[in-house]
Structure 1
Amino acid sequence: MSVISFNDGWACRAPQGPFAGAFGGAIARDVRLPHDALRDETRQPEAPGRGAGAYFPAGAYTYVKRFEAPQDWARLLVQLEIQGAFRRAQVFVNDEFAGNRADGYARFFVDLTPFLKAGQENELRIEVRSGEDSRWYSGAGLHRPVLLHLSEPLDVVPDGVTVETIRIEDDLAVVEVRSHLRNAAMNTCTTRVRTVLNGPDGQVVAEGSVPLTLAPAEGATSRQRFYVRSPSLWSPDEPILHTATVSLEGREDVHVTTFGIRTVAVDPLNGLRINGRSVLLRGACVHHDNGPLGAAALPRAEERRVELLKAAGFNAIRAAHNPLSVAMLDACDRLGVLVMDEAFDMWTRFKTPYDYAAEFPQWWEADLESMVAKDRNHPSVVMYSIGNEIAEVGSPHGARWARRLADHVRALDPSRPVTNGVNAMLAVLDELPRMAQQAGATDSTGGGLNELGMDGAFNAISALPQATQRIEESSAALDVLGLNYADSRYEMDRQLFPGRVIVGSETFPSQIGRLWPLVLKNPNVIGDFTWTGWDYLGEVGIGSITYESDSDAPGGLEREFPFLTALTGDIDITGWRRPISYYREIVFGLRTAPYIAVQRPERHDDKVLLKSPWAWSDTVSSWTWTGHEGQPVTVEVYADADEVALLLDGAEVARRKVGIERPCLTEFEIVYFPGELTAVAYSDGVETGRMMLQTAGSATTLQAISDRYELANDDLAFISVDICDADGLPVSNADAAVTITVEGAGVLAGMCSARPATTERFDGDTWRTFDGRALAVIRSTGPGPITVTASAPGLAAGQLSLHVTA
């Protein structure tokens, strides 16, 4: 079997035919996959999905690719692998219907063999559409890669090789390789299946072959057990990868699978164990979009996100709320980041008017099979999630579904635990008014849940006996119970359900200082996943703070157009770490130095009308606030210490204990004057670390820095553009409209800043910076040099050179 990239040579246009007028014209444009067609549409205040979809309109698109099919393809089986097509994809070959898929994130295969014309030009057409089918920005189109599989009549099927670690001993690992073959020939065939295991250095660690006989139209599986001596194990700290190469007798083509030798186990006494060693999940929930690239899952963009999340202290990712791309899983394998891959955001009950609930009863089995087939050879995947905040889990009907889904996953892959992200409050939604009163919604002071806030309300209701009873049956179907915003259950479930293992599958970011000690204290809790690790498009403003002076003060959490992002997450959409990220790193015990964040002085006296539980403080790590000299300012310092001293130009201006407002944090009210602001942390009177911020001078230049300067073909470079002073210090309170020009073997693939509300377009070449910073993404188009120039009125241009290898 051979696999061919099928990402080039596509045209994208609006639909043609009797309904074309509903979605605009039919002008085609050449595109290279992965591609998000919705990203380049005009956002509208009255878009049907409103803020949930970031005010992007509904969309329908047709992708067309014309290609020559060589004459020798007539004797082969030809299958198309589509790793993600959002949504309700219809596949046509030479104008004949060949296949379809409802889920926009499912990886699926379409058999093209009956429709191809060997020795002639063929047309492949894929139609997709989206609109009011997600609670976030979905994008639309062929947003993940497309591949072509060419197989001999007798061959290993796509996804046909499974590698499983059976057990690990002191000096030995038992690894089983299962290869599934199919015989499409007209006669019975016998072949030998040869498998070679190679270690991380390329050396052979085990090999062998077995005969296999298949009758016509029969499928069969060869099973080979290998005993690897002194194995190099895969773990988050040492992500050591092996390869399994499977070939058939007399054939030159091979099937290569990457895997890791490792085991996974969970129990309420030892938690999660990788290779017998306990591991706590420092987790980040992540949506699928790549900011300025929209929903397009380009491999380097996926890899960069994993790199930056790990550098920020996370060792685990939870897919939210759909299976991760193959590219992101590959990156997690290489970099040693654990994965909870998630199948669904809904089962049979709708969350939006046209979502997957309409197709779930018909497609759930196939979509679970797709996820497991994609994941099972990835050592980074340690847990499967069958859903997120499924309303029906509090009913007998929902418990039956939970059992069916969990059992189906176990039948496909018994080597990994199964979880479900349960929101216990949503599970008792029908009883909520009565339960809210029981939990204290009103009392003699008129407070109760209103005083608790949303985070307190989730916790209080989730701990009530009705919630315990309603989720018990569906939870019993799981190996690990995922709890969303219900840490109140951690300790009580140790007593009520001694055999229950829990993961904080979704938690409020501002509460990590309180939550992480609970994880450390309770061995039945295997980790915490914050919402979110990375800011995303849609669900606009759920992490925002609304001030009295804001013109769009909301009645609820959703903000008005032109809000674009959720404005939550440790990392913004440009890849820049926000202050909450450093606070979390300190809480995790991964950073000893303190961290300084300054609340925006212009907001100092602005009354807060609404602060979302997904929000952190409105802070920037900067001591450059031109125009606010002599005015009051609030300085936050994060530190794992007893107290912090604040120094301005070497002189102490304040000293305060840590932990008064929240764990590992203290606040200072001082007056802003330019200079050097230093925070010094002390424990037991001994200095444990310090951090300094320096006031920058006037903005004079743009500084452009790329994450990489050597690129492959069809690769990405992420270029940070900062406004700086004459000494190269960032000027965070100076913003300008930055224009990017690209010359040579590359194009501008996308541009943005972290500004949460804007009408700027990701396909535009000019963006206004936010806190003095913007991001440009360059996509290489062929070998040769690339010159990138960043310019802005009144500032010296920044320029850099990239090189694309052949």
Structure 2
Amino acid sequence: MTRISFNEGWQVQPKISIFTKLFQPAEDQELVRLPHDAMLDIPRVPDMQGGPSTAYFPGGAVEYRNTLDLPEDFDIRRYTLEFQGVYRDAMVFVNGAFAGQCPGGYTTFHVALDAFLHAGTNHIRVEARAHQDSRWYSGLGIHRDVVLIESGLVHLAATGPRVRPEIVDDSTAMIEVMADVLNESTTTRTVRVAVDLLDADADVVGTGAAPVTVLAGQSVVSRQRIPVHRARRWSVENPYLYRARVRILDADDECDAVETTFGVRTVQADPIHGLRINGEVVKLRGACVHHDNGVLGAAAPRAAEDRRIRLLKGAGFNAIRAAHNPLSQRMLDACDRLGMLVMDEAFDMWTDSKSNFDQSITFPTWWESDLEAMVHKDYNHPSVIMYSIGNEVLEAASSHGALWARKLAEKVRGLDDTRLVTNGVSGNVGIITQLLTEFQEKAAVIREQGNVNDLVAELHDLLDEVAAPGLITGMTEEIHSVVDVVGHNYDDDRYAGDLERFPHRVVVGTESLAPRIDLIWDQVMAHRHVIGDFTWTGWDYIGEVGIGRVDHVRDDQTAPGPHHPWLLAWCGDIDITGYRRPASYFREMVFGLRTEPYIAVARPAQPGTRPIGLNWSWTDTLGSWTFDVEAGTPMEVEVYSDASEVELFLNGRSLGVAPAGSAHRYRARFEVDYEPGELVAVARRDGVAQERTTLKSAGPVSSLRLLTDRLELKAADGALGFVEIELVDGHGILSTAADRQVRVRVEGDGELVALGSANPVQDPDFGAAECRTFEGRAMAVVRPTGPGTLRVRVSTDGLPGHVIDLHVEA
């Protein structure tokens, strides 16, 4: 089996009907390289229905075209296209004929091409549609990799072999390798399936071989168990990977071959010990992550997925939850390689819709194939320890919802019984769904009386009723009973009660509020049956705009609510360019991974106003002492510290000591009159000064600073360079108060892919070569086009330009 990237040579254009084409000229086709997000090119609509959810992107329909050239003897081979994600309702045509489809926007699917091919040039067309089908920004088009699979007539299945490690003792593992062998010839064939297991140094550590007979037009499963002695375990701290090489041999000829990575590790969960990996207790320091890559939109190239995992792990997370769709294969590869645990999630809805045209429409007929695709994708990835079958499904509190949950959970277990199954349930959402009719009936009576205040009070009474532990417990008991790990969304106050009422349960916080992480983490650590927490959210994202915003209003005002041109949710620990926000450092402190204090300064607000935000909102702060305000302006300063107290100094003067540590929710608070200079926080333990941190005010911006984590790139599929652009003063201090336009030009062996900032309120053109910085920062994404030197040149008015060279290897 030859797997060839099929990401090059695609053209994309808006899809219009054949009748429209009769009367208007076709739009120009744009040459693109996959993965690609066509939604970013569609103008936003400020007053569209559901605009805040999708960041005011209206959706649309596009078609991609490519060609495949084949020799005269092409029919002795078999050709399949693997699409790792097309959003959404993908329809695939080959030489004008329908060849395959997949409604799911994040599902890997395969299209056998053979029945539609001929010698010479073959034309491939892929259609994709997106419209009112998502609660967040979905993107549009072929947003993940496409692979062309070429094989002989006797070959391995396109999904590849499945590898199942089994620990025998402390030093030995039995590796079961299962391979589906297909015979598409016209005669019965007996071939030999050979397996080699290789360690990280490419040394063979185990072998096996067995004959396999396959009737014409049928398939069989080859199953071999091979011991590996002194097997090394995969873990978060040491993500050791093996490879399995599977070959089909016909006499001396190799008919097909494929390699896959795998890891050796065990996963157990029980209420006595909690979660154990390789026998050691692990608490999940988790982040929910949406699928988009910020300035790249929904496109998921290898380098971007890899970078996200590196930065999330560097910020203290050891686990991610796919929210709320299966992760890309590229991200799973990164999790395997870097040591990040994964909860992969199948669905955001089942049969009850959350948007007008969402996946609920196709769920009843496609759920099995969607689950099969997810499990096949995940099977060999040691990072995946848990499958989630849903998120806040509206059926959660109904008996028929429990029936669906049981059906889904058993389907997953039938495909893979080595991993845990969970379901992110919001008891409140499920209960409200069941009580909606009752509330509507009460509301109708109150409306006739014309008393809006009574209507609001009735809603509060209903919510109080919903929150009653006994009601939620009873109505969600069955749906929780079908999974291995009970998933609570925003229900951390139920952890202790669950232990008392259901002592057999293992619980995970599948979704939680970042501002409560200290309170939640106390419970996670105090209860062995609670195996971890997943915050909303680890990485900021497009859509659900402004759920983490902070508005400053007078006492007689209410928050205005999100509106165009808001773009981002603004609730991530890490912004869309990969920059850590204050909440990230606070979380690191709570996790026990940081002792150095962190200074977070509230952005100045109009006098007489107060901050107000939603439950997802962090304080409106940043880690800077550079502000465009008059000296003497009152400033609020938070210092995050696990020490018992913090002393704050401004330009050498002590401003006093304030309590901190867990008893004060890790925050020391100060009121400071602004004065440019040096702000220093000193952690005091038992009255003794220990760790300290310093913020310095920036002077006038005098130069640009370009940063990148990698000066050397490979001229390979999915390779990208990320160049951070900063405005700094003469001492190299970042200026967060003097934003300006910056321009980027790429020279040599590369091209500019995207440019933008993390500003949550913007009307973006990430494909342009110019953007405005946000709090002194922007980011350019570049792609190598061949070996050589890729030069990134950045300029701005009034300052010297700056250049950074990236070396590109073949």
Local SS of the residue matching 2:142: coil
Alignment of 1:153-302 (within 5 A): 153-249=153-249, 250-252=252-254, 253-302=256-305
Identify which of 656, 666, 669 aligns with 2:668: 666
**Does structure 1 conserve the Cα–Cα contact (< 8 Å) formed by 2:398 and 2:434?**
no
Would you say 1:363 and 2:366 are equivalent positions? yes
| CA–CA separation in structure 2 for the residues paired with 1:314 and 1:292 | 23
Task: Give me the whole-angstrom Cα distance separating, in 2, the residues matched to 1:725 and 1:228.
Answer: 58
Q: Which moved more, 1:648-657 or 1:464-473?
A: 648-657
Counterparts in 2 of 1:677 and 1:179: CA distance versus 1, 3 Å: same
- Between 88-97 and 659-668, report the one with greater CA deviation: 659-668
Pairwise mapping of residues 644-659 of structure 1 onto structure 2 (< 5 A)? 644-658=646-660
Indicate the SS of the match to 1:601. coil
CA distance in 2, matches of 1:517, 1:720: 36
Contact 1:194 1:246 in 2 (8 A): yes
SS at match of 2:158: strand
CA-based RMSD of the aligned residues comes to 2.5
> Does 1:509 pair with 2:514?
yes
Separation in 2, partners of 1:356, 1:43:
23
Q: Is the 8 A contact 2:552 2:605 kept in 1?
A: no
Q: Could you say if the C-alpha distance between residues 23 and 269 of structure 1 is closer, same or farther in structure 2, counting changes exceeding 3 Å?
A: farther
Choose which of 641, 665, 677 in structure 1 pairs with 2:643.
641
- CA distance in structure 1 between the aligned counterparts of 2:231 and 2:613, rounded to whole angstroms: 52
Task: Give the letter for the 2:118 counterpart.
Answer: K
CA distance 1:48–1:745, shift in 2 (3 Å)? farther
Matched-pair contact (CA < 8 Å) for 2:641–2:661: no
What is the match of residue 321 of structure 1? 324
Q: 1:193 & 1:590 partners in 2: Cα distance? A: 48
Shift of 1:649: 2.4
Equivalent of residue 708 in structure 1, options 707, 710, 716: 710
- Residue deviations 1:614-665 (CA, integer Å, cap 9, x gap): 0101111111124331111111000111110001223211211115995111
Contact 2:439 2:462 in 1 (8 A): no
Opposite residue 500 of structure 2, the aligned amino acid is Q
Matched residue, 2:429: 426
Q: Kindly state the Cα deviation for residue 450 of structure 1 after the two structures are TM-superposed.
A: 10
Superposition pairs of residues 616-627 of structure 1, within 5 angstroms: 616-627=618-629
Q: 1:457 to 1:756 in 2, by over 3 A?
A: farther
CA distance in 2, matches of 1:690, 1:555: 39
Q: CA deviation at 1:251?
A: 3.6
In 2, the alpha carbon distance for the partners of 1:690 and 1:302 equals: 34
Cα distance change of structure 1 residues 242 and 395 upon mapping to structure 2, 3 Å threshold: same
Q: 2:741 pairs with 737, 741, 746, which one?
A: 737
Identify the residue that residue 551 of structure 2 maps to in structure 1: 546
Shift of 1:71: 2.6
Residue 448 of structure 2 corresponds to which residue in structure 1?
Answer: none
Say if 2:193 and 2:247, in contact at 8 Å, map to a contact too: yes
The letter of the residue matching 1:75 is I
- Return 71-80 or 240-249, whichever deviates more: 71-80
- Confirm whether residue 56 of structure 1 aligns to residue 57 of structure 2: yes
Question: CA offset at residue 709 of structure 1?
Answer: 1.6
Deviation of 1:47 (Å): 3.2
Q: What are the within-5 Å matches in structure 2 for residues 338-357 of structure 1?
A: 338-357=341-360
Deviation at 1:487, TM superposition (A): 0.6
Quote how far apart the aligned CAs of 1:99 are: 0.6
Q: Report the counterpart of residue 414 of structure 1 in structure 2.
A: 417
1:778 aligned residue (771, 782, 786) = 782
User: How much has 1:783 moved relative to structure 2?
Assistant: 2.0
Secondary structure (helix, strand or coil) at the match of 1:475 reads helix
Q: Alignment partner of 1:481: what SS?
A: strand
Name the SS of the counterpart of 2:126 in structure 1.
Answer: strand
5 Å-filtered alignment, 1:564-643, equals 564-603=567-606, 605-608=608-611, 610-643=612-645
Instruction: For 2:594, give the aligned amino acid.
Output: R
For 1:435 and 1:482, locate their aligned partners in 2 and report how far apart those are by CA, in whole Å: 27
Shift of 1:72: 3.2
Return the offset for 1:516: 0.3
Please report how far the alpha carbon of residue 23 of structure 1 lies from its aligned counterpart in structure 2 after TM superposition: 12
- Asked if structure 2 preserves the Cα contact closer than 8 Å seen for 1:47 and 1:58, the reply is no
SS at match of 1:213: strand
2:589 is paired with a residue whose SS is helix
Q: Which residue in the other structure is 1:439 paired with?
A: none
Matching residue's letter, 2:383 = S
Q: Distance in 2 between matches of 1:419 and 1:35?
A: 32
CA distance in 2, matches of 1:293, 1:23: 31
Query: 8 Å contact 1:168–1:263 — kept in the other structure?
Result: no
Following TM superposition, by how much is the alpha carbon of 1:66 offset from its aligned partner in structure 2, in angstroms?
Answer: 1.6
Pair 1:805–1:19, CA change in 2 (3 A) = farther
Q: Are 1:463 and 1:489, in contact at CA under 8 Å, matched by a contact in 2?
A: no
Aligned residue in 2 for 1:680: 682
**Structure 2 CA distance, aligned partners of 1:687 and 1:541?**
39
Deviations 1:703-750 (A, max 9, x none): 111222211225211111111001211111111111111112211111
Alpha-carbon displacement from aligned partner over 1:490-544 (angstroms, at most 9, x marks no partner): 0101011111111000000000010001000111111000000000000000111
Q: Which runs of 5+ in 2 are unaligned?
A: 441-451
Q: Is the 8 A contact 2:642 2:662 kept in 1?
A: no
Superposed, which structure 2 residues align to 1:52-201 within 5 Å? 52-118=53-119, 120-201=120-201
Match of 1:440 in 2: none
Q: Verify the 8 A CA contact 1:69 1:121 in the aligned structure 2.
A: yes
Query: How many Å separate the matches in 1 of 2:663 and 2:700?
Result: 35
Shift of residue 343, structure 1, vs aligned partner: 0.4
2:554 touches 2:608 (CA, 8 Å); kept in 1? no
Distance 1:458 1:702, change over 3 A: farther
2:725 is the alignment partner of 1:721: yes
Change (3 A) 1:29 1:536: same
Q: 1:753 maps to what in 2?
A: 757
**2-side partners of 1:463 and 1:255: how far apart?**
55
Bigger CA drift: 339-348 or 707-716?
Answer: 707-716
User: Which secondary structure state, in structure 2, belongs to the residue aligned with residue 284 of structure 1?
Assistant: strand
Distance 2:663 2:73 in 1: 72
SS at match of 1:369: helix
Residues 444-502 of structure 1, C-alpha deviation per residue, up to 9 Å, x if partnerless? xx999999x99x99999455211101111111110011100001110101011111111
**CA pair 38-142 structure 1, distance change in 2 beyond 3 A:** same
**Which deviates the most, 181-190 or 164-173?**
164-173
CA distance in 1, matches of 2:495, 2:34: 44
Change (3 A) 1:679 1:264: same
Contact kept in structure 2, 1:173 and 1:229, CA below 8 Å: yes
User: Quick one: which amino acid aligns to residue 116 of structure 1?
Assistant: L
User: Aligned in 2, Cα 1:566/1:549: closer, same or farther, shift over 3 Å?
Assistant: farther
For 1:460 and 1:614, how far apart are their aligned partners in 2?
A: 24
CA contact (8 A) 2:59 2:140 kept: no
Amino acid at match of 1:248: I
| Structure-2 separation of matches of 1:748 and 1:426 | 44
**Deviation digits for residues 382-423 of structure 1 (CA, Å, limit 9, x no counterpart):** 000001000101101100000000000000000001100000
In structure 1, what is the equivalent of residue 700 of structure 2?
698
AA of the residue aligned to 2:344: D
The whole-number CA distance in structure 2 between the counterparts of 1:536 and 1:77 is 40
Does structure 2 conserve the Cα–Cα contact (< 8 Å) formed by 1:399 and 1:473? yes
Change (3 A) 1:109 1:430: closer
Residues 23, 160 of structure 1: alpha-carbon distance in 2 compared, 3 angstrom cutoff: farther
With over 3 angstroms needed to count, the CA separation of the structure-2 counterparts of 1:420 and 1:463, relative to structure 1, is: farther
Q: Give the corresponding residue for 1:10.
A: 10
How far did 1:24 drift? 10
Q: Is the 8 A contact 2:432 2:466 kept in 1?
A: no
2-side partners of 1:571 and 1:614: how far apart?
14
The alignment of Structure 1 onto Structure 2 pairs a total of residues equal to 791
**Which of 535, 542, 546 is residue 537 of structure 1 equivalent to?**
542
Q: Is the 8 A contact 1:284 1:317 kept in 2?
A: yes
Post-superposition CA distance 1:296-353 (Å, at most 9, x none):
0010000000000000000001000000000000000000000000000000011001
